[in-house]
Amino acid sequence: MPSADFNILITEPIPEKAITHLKKFGKLTIADKGTYNTPESLIDDIPDYDALLCMLSTPVNEEVLKAGKRLKIVANFAVGYDNIDIKTARTLDIHVANTPDVLTEACGDFAMGLLLAVSRKFKQAEAYLRNGNFKGWEPLGFLGMELRGRTLGIIGMGRIGQAFAHRARAFGMNIAYHNRNRVTENIENDLQATYFDDHRVLAEQCDVLSLNCPLTPKTHHLLNSKLLNTLPSHAIVINISRGAVIDEEALAEALHNNIIAGAGLDVFENEPEVHPRLLTAPNCLILPHIASATHKTREAIGMLAVEAISSVLSGTPSSQITNLITQ
């Protein structure tokens, strides 16, 4: 039974439908954006709450979890959950939920859009026009890379990696990939995807390299100067996963020195800050972490997060809650 005794903290406003659903399960506190962007800010308040619905920018570390004496569940408003100390949550029997599946298509669309925008220089061409430089059609203006027949290398062939690959196939691209575990033969056949065990061998084949892996100690700065130097000089890098999978200093260096031709980045290591050398790098399209930002998807993310909270608070066996990371 829903209980008004449960206190639920939402770290910033989320879609209304999710809030309306969650209200039935306890007393909500909806904080203003930015209130809980440090562990210190959470540690003081978390002891009052039974459930926390947080953003990917909310650092839910060991101290926060230990301070959450009543805490039963942390639901992340995101599929990635590198902001949460999962090991400690398990030890303390605090459930952690994420939001898989519902954002896959929005992110697949977005990755394809990012690639098109960078490969065809949308940003520079628009600036050229807005600055009054467009004096008529030019045979040599803004020449970019055509995608048909090019190879898209994907590191991280999970749901979002596959969604991007499907779209890229429709544009006539070849797919090469690396993943922790090789995907099934069916998926490989469907995408005509070639598996590479070694990142460097994969990078040598790529015209475009996309990072779609989760951020873990193993993937931290996975795209470093060594790997960047393996890419052909016309290559484009796409990242919609987490900023820290790229060594941003090395990427900025590669862009400034024409080691690669361009980058489309939706994520950054120290969000909301962007590495200053990326801000000035040529052919680098940078966006404020909006891959999943569609009305439909953000509402679905909200519903999935609040359903996990309402299920845990109302005593549903954890085996029946599909989006729990900790069982």
Q: What does the alpha-carbon distance between residue 176 and residue 194 come to, in Å, rounded to a whole number?
A: 5
Residues 6+ positions from 242 with CB-CB distance below 8 Å: 80, 82, 214, 215, 267
Query: Which of 71, 103, 244, 252 lies at the binding interface for ligand DGY (CB under 6 A)?
Result: 103
The least distance separating ligand DGY from the CB of residue 44, rounded to whole angstroms, comes to: 27
Establish if 291 lies at the interface with ligand DGY (CB under 6 A): yes
Binding piece for ligand DGY, criterion CB under 6 A, among 19-27, 63-71, 75-83, 304-312? 75-83
In the complex, the smallest distance separating the C-beta of residue 81 from ligand DGY, rounded to whole angstroms, is 8
323-196-166 Cα angle (round to 5): 55
Residue 53 engages ligand DGY in binding (rule: CB under 6 A): no
Among the listed residues 187, 117, 195, 104, the one whose alpha carbon sits nearest the alpha carbon of residue 154: 195
Which segment (14-22, 76-84, 172-180, 191-199) binds ligand DGY by CB under 6 A? 76-84
C-alpha 172/C-alpha 186 separation (Å) is 19
Q: Which of 9, 51, 65, 79 binds ligand DGY (CB under 6 A)?
A: 79
Q: Is 97 in the site for ligand DGY (CB under 6 A)?
A: no
CA pair distance 118, 283, nearest whole angstrom: 7
Which of 212, 292, 310, 323 binds ligand DGY (CB under 6 A)? It is 292
Q: Which of 15, 37, 80, 199 binds ligand DGY (CB under 6 A)?
A: 80
Asked if 113 is part of the footprint of ligand DGY (rule: CB under 6 A), the reply reads no
100 binds ligand DGY (CB under 6 A): no
Residues 121, 42: Cα–Cα separation, whole Å: 42
Q: Quick one: which segment of 215-223, 278-286, 287-295, 314-322 binds ligand DGY (CB under 6 A)?
A: 287-295
37 vs 225 by CB, closer to ligand DGY = 37
For ligand DGY, the closer CB: 214 or 232: 214
Q: How far is the CB of 304 from ligand DGY (least distance, A)?
A: 11
Residue 21: active-site member = no
What's the CA gap between 118 and 150, in Å, rounded? 15
Residue 80: CB minimum distance to ligand DGY, A = 3
The Cα-based distances of 281 to 141, 235, 251, 271, 321 in angstroms read 20, 15, 9, 18, 45
Q: Which is nearer to ligand DGY, 81 or 196 (CB)?
A: 81
Question: Is 105 strand, coil or helix?
Answer: helix
Chain-centroid distance of CA 50 in Å reads 27
Q: What are phi and psi of 173, to 5 degrees?
A: -85, 155
In sequence order, the β-bridge partners of residue 263 are 237, 284
Range 29-35 contact pairs with CB under 8 angstroms and sequence separation of 24 or more: 35/11
Nearer to ligand DGY, 187 or 293 (CB): 293
Which residues form the interface with ligand DGY (CB under 6 A)? 56, 78-80, 103, 289, 291-292
Return the active site residues: 242, 271, 289
